[in-house]
Amino acid sequence: SVKMRIKEHRNNIRNFKMDTATDTPVSRHFHNQGHNLSQLRWLVLENIVQPKRGGDRKKILGQREAYWIKKMNTMAPLGLNDYWSLSPYL
């Protein structure tokens, strides 16, 4: 969920230590640029509902995340996404 994802980012920023689990592209950016937690902003780009006929919602979420990463050109070095996976399409 969005709430959990933002909570993870906040915890990683708050507890940032190089070369640990808290060293993520977002937390590293905040640390290196001297940002603080109050400067974290986020935006929901799309609401994905459970398909009426069932289906794998996690797979759909992964596909849509990959779509938005590509569309918004947020891969490093231009953005903070350091990878994206083709697994949601397989």
Instruction: Name residues whose C-beta falls within 8 Å of residue 84's C-beta, 6 or more positions apart in sequence.
Output: 65, 66, 69, 70, 75
Q: Is the pLDDT of residue 85 over 80?
A: no
Rounded Cα–Cα distance for residues 38 and 25 (Å): 18
Q: Are residues 27 and 63 in the same domain?
A: no
Segments forming the whole domain that contains residue 86: 45-90
Q: Are residues 14 and 49 in the same domain?
A: no
What does the pLDDT average to over 2-10? 93
Rounded Cα–Cα distance for residues 65 and 45 (Å): 10
- CB–CB of 88/62 below 8 Å? yes
- Summarised one tens digit per residue, pLDDT across range 40-61 is 999 999 999 888 888 888 888 8
Q: How many domains does the chain have?
A: 2
Q: Are residues 53 and 89 in the same domain?
A: yes
Q: Are residues 37 and 50 in the same domain?
A: no
Predicted TM-score (pTM) of the model is 0.79
Label residue 82 by pLDDT band (50, 70, 90): confident
Rounded Cα–Cα distance for residues 85 and 58 (Å): 13
